[in-house]
Amino acid sequence: MKKKLLSLLTSIIVVAFVLTSCGTKQTSNNSGTTSSSDKEGDEIKIGAVIPITGDISTFGKSTKNGIELAVEQVNSAGGINGKKIKLIVQDDENKPEQGVAVLQRLINNDKVVGVIGSVSSKVSIPMAAVATQNKIPLISGASTNPKFTSEKGNEYAFRACFIDPFQGTVIAKFATENLKAKTAAVLYDVGNDYTVGLAEYFKAAFEKSGGKVTAYESYNNGETDFSAQLTNIKKNPPDVIVLTDYYQNVGLIAKQARQLGLKSVFLGGDGWDSPDLVKIGGTAVEGGYFCNHYSKDDTSPEVVKFINDYKAKYNEVPDALAALGYDAANMMFEAIKKAGSTDGEKIAEALKKIDLKAVTGEIKLDENRNPIKPAVMLKIENGKQVFVGKVNP
Amino acid sequence: MIFMQQLINGIALGSVYALIALGYTMVYGIVQLINFAHGDIYMIGAFAAYYAANMFNLSFVPTLLAAMVVCALLGMTIERLAYRPIRKAPKITALITAIGISLLLENLVRIIIGPNPKSFPGLLTSKMVTIGNLEIDSLKLVTLGVSIGLMILLTFIVHNTKVGKAMRAVSQDKDAARLMGIDIDRIISYTFGIGSALAAVGGVLVGVLYQRIDPLMGIMPGLKAFTAAVLGGIGVIPGAMAGGVLMGIAESLTKGFISTKFSDAIAFSILIIILLFRPSGLLGKKSSEKV
């Protein structure tokens, strides 16, 4: 009897744990509207939802620095229409449920007029629906998954970066044209919209240009042992291995792949852009290439000015996330200025017509509210990122 | 060929599950408590090793010992403060307390150390060892070796030492054991200490092997180790080892030959199937319970 009870209990607990660890989606239950009347005095409140802690915290810190620099510059230039910007930053820990919760707090309690965030697509996508229900414009600096803006009910979502189909195509183009790769293996995280999207678009573009994908392998979120998948990839060692994840896992996978004796060139997307990549991956990531939004070696006046300002404030060279955070904030400010109002609907309308000379290229939005602009390819050499070239859409 | 390689991957992964499963099984065998905080003790073992190695520049073996001591003390403290006061309460009370302790440990670490993953120091260098056509990472061999060594040691302790004999006596009949002059509280405390120290070893080995640790790293391995313990017959020490290795192999083969998406589903399905046909687990005895 007791044993039966134990087995029943065990199954229930296992099922419950598995269900909860899959991540719950929070739905907003308040369709409350924010009227433009409850703005106090001469402040415009802007929210920011970014992963300051968690597995991609260096992205969050860079984004935060970029946004804060933009806020400081706009305020020291007299603010927007005579009003100063007040920035309220919230941490989403790179978790969808946390992102939605803090976004609701920003909208309902802090009465922000617009929000910048988040970094990863898996957090931004559920946030977009909440922002749209509340008619608050949401601009993500770096969420590249198309769903963020293209899904129905996400009409108040905008972004400052290019999207994954473009990024995936750029990586495939680079692999076939510059690296003359004939075979490729792809390894991605099944639980992350960003890595799944990038993997799919790379595969489609690579096969279209005549390449062969020898292995298309995945892993679960939070896993640290990739030996089963890498053993499969090693059956037919490919010319390139595409790792579509963020730096944390890319470093880990690269190391394990080299330990197994795989010699292929690693390729990836903008998720690689962090100084921690080399810290974690060490020599394993040497010689890898990734696609990014901007290069610090670019000589356009916007980039040079941004790098100088950023260095003066933070004493370090900005990465792409900092540039995108800066651009996203400036998009918001420009739209508020153009709209001449802090009403969410009017800001969103102004955003659709934006034409901004930004650090990561000229930002004009297409009908899905995605910017059309070029990408850059970077190479990891001696632990540093080296500019390889620009790829146009 | 590939099959053999995947099998080795699975055994290495499974030996870590087995180490954690031993702790679950020992505690259950003696106090009939499923100690859900066990996976988090494994995590704290990894963090203790991280700090020991970074602060005092220790090498592998001293780091391992330091983590074992920290976790043994932690396990005994938890037992003293959280489980002993409710030992007479219904079993469900203890189970809920254990889940509470688990959440407490996870979140305390998140507050004190922060939720960011840490890069574990490279205490051992990895080399590829070639055996015939197979290539094996030397770190995996170390993991396997340490796990097997500790399992043998544990079996020896349980069967041949005074404490081990007392443990077995307590697990059979607490009241009779007390009448024979065994200090039950002390024996239970030792059980938690030994179980927790084994979990710490698991944490350190995983840290060395994959070099990334974070406050929530104990949840999935803890759950899988618990499953392994039930699979092998909870309360049975060889069962925990068999269950752990079986889980590791199932996971690795599923990833290698079917799809990662099914790896957890298949691992847990095995548990459900075994429980349907052999409710006492693979190596569990079909004993009639005393009332």
The residue with greater pLDDT, A68 or B271, is A68
- Write down the residue that tokens 């070029």 correspond to: A374
Helices A193-208 and A164-177: crossing angle, nearest 10°?
Answer: 40
Residue B291 CA to residue B286 CA, distance in Å, equals: 15
pLDDT at position B190:
93
Q: Cβ distance B137 to A225 under 8 Å?
A: no
The nearest alpha carbon in chain A to B28 belongs to: A6
- Cα A199–Cα A205–Cα A206 angle in degrees, nearest 5: 85
Give me the residue from B2, B212, B259 closest to A252, CB to CB: B212
Contact list, A248 vs chain B (CB under 8 Å): 117, 212
| Cβ neighbours of B58 (radius 10 Å) | 17
For chains A and B, count residue pairs whose Cβ atoms are closer than 8 Å.
104
Return all residues near A40 (Cβ < 8 A) that are at least 6 apart: none
- Cα A25–Cα A31–Cα A34 angle in degrees, nearest 5: 120
Residue by residue, DSSP assigns A307-330 as HHHHHHHHSS---HHHHHHHHHHH
Q: Do B263 and A280 touch (CB under 8 A)?
A: no
With an 8 Å Cβ cutoff, is B51 touching chain A?
Answer: no
Q: Cβ distance B140 to B12 under 8 Å?
A: yes
Residue A42 CA to residue A46 CA, distance in Å, equals: 13
pLDDT at position A2:
56
The nearest alpha carbon in chain B to A13 belongs to: B223
With an 8 Å Cβ cutoff, is B116 touching chain A?
Answer: yes
pLDDT at position A14:
59
Rg of chain B, C-alpha, whole Å: 19
| Cβ neighbours of A163 (radius 10 Å) | 24
Q: Do B115 and A54 touch (CB under 8 A)?
A: yes
Q: Cβ distance B221 to B264 under 8 Å?
A: no
Average model confidence (pLDDT) for chain B? Answer: 88
Average pLDDT value for residue range B254-278:
85
Quote the minimal CA–CA distance from A278 to chain B in Å. 12
Residue B206 CA to residue A13 CA, distance in Å, equals: 25
Q: Cβ distance A369 to A352 under 8 Å?
A: yes
**Quick one: DSSP state of residue A31?**
-
Give me the residue from B9, B117, B214 closest to A228, CB to CB: B9
Residue by residue, DSSP assigns A375-389 as EEEEEEETTEEEEEE
Q: Cβ distance A385 to A182 under 8 Å?
A: no
Q: What stretches of B32-137 show up as alpha helix (H) in DSSP?
A: 38-56, 60-78, 91-112
Task: Output the six-digit token pair for A339.
Answer: 């709209």
Contact list, A17 vs chain B (CB under 8 Å): 219, 223
Interface of A with B in 30-89 (CB under 8 A): 53-55, 57
Burial class (CB in 10 A: 0-12, 13-18, 19+), A167: buried
Say if the ipTM goes beyond 0.85: no
Give me the residue from A17, A222, A227 closest to B9, CB to CB: A227
Q: Which of A7, A20, A276 to mutate to test the interface with B (most CBs of B within 10 A)?
A: A7
pLDDT at position A3:
59
Q: Cβ distance B20 to B222 under 8 Å?
A: yes
Q: Do B275 and A7 touch (CB under 8 A)?
A: yes
Q: What stretches of chain A show up as alpha helix (H) in DSSP?
A: 2-21, 57-76, 96-108, 121-133, 147-150, 164-177, 193-208, 227-234, 247-259, 276-281, 301-314, 320-339, 344-352
Contact list, B272 vs chain A (CB under 8 Å): 11
Tell me which residues of chain A have a pLDDT lower than 50: 21-39
Nearest alpha-carbon partner for B231 in B283, B288, B171, B154: B283
Give me the residue from B119, B220, B255 closest to A229, CB to CB: B255
Q: pLDDT of A208-221, one tens digit each? A: 999 999 999 999 88
Quote the minimal CA–CA distance from A211 to chain B in Å. 23
Give me the residue from A217, A225, A229 closest to B210, CB to CB: A225
Nearest alpha-carbon partner for A373 in A385, A382, A386, A364: A364
Q: What is the phi/psi pair of residue B152, to 5°?
A: -65, -45
Nearest alpha-carbon partner for A195 in A230, A258, A144: A144
Give pTM, 2 decimals: 0.76
With an 8 Å Cβ cutoff, is A4 touching chain B?
Answer: yes
CA distances from A196 to A123, A145, A217, A308, A393 (A): 14, 9, 11, 36, 21
Contact list, A2 vs chain B (CB under 8 Å): 289
pLDDT at position A24:
39
Q: Do B268 and A217 touch (CB under 8 A)?
A: no
Residue B251 CA to residue B260 CA, distance in Å, equals: 8
Residue by residue, DSSP assigns A64-91 as HHHHHHHHHHHHHTT-BTTBEEEEEEEE
Residue B255 CA to residue B6 CA, distance in Å, equals: 9
Contact list, B10 vs chain A (CB under 8 Å): 228
CA atoms within 13 A on the CB side of A343: 9
Q: Which of B24, B255, B270, B276 to mutate to test the interface with A (most CBs of A within 10 A)?
A: B255
Quote the minimal CA–CA distance from A58 to chain B in Å. 10
Q: Are strands A157-159 and A183-189 parallel, antiparallel or unpaired?
A: unpaired
CA distances from B149 to A337, B70, B143 (A): 70, 20, 10
Residue B115 CA to residue B120 CA, distance in Å, equals: 15
Q: Do B220 and A21 touch (CB under 8 A)?
A: yes
Residue B54 CA to residue B44 CA, distance in Å, equals: 15
Question: Does residue B132 surpass a pLDDT of 80?
Answer: no
- At A368, the amino acid letter reads N
Q: Do A260 and B220 touch (CB under 8 A)?
A: no
pLDDT at position A9:
61
Q: Do B119 and A279 touch (CB under 8 A)?
A: yes
Q: Do B289 and A279 touch (CB under 8 A)?
A: no
Average pLDDT value for residue range B200-211:
90
Average pLDDT value for residue range B9-15:
89
Interface of B with A in 202-241 (CB under 8 A): 206, 209-212, 214, 216-217, 219-220, 223, 227, 230, 234
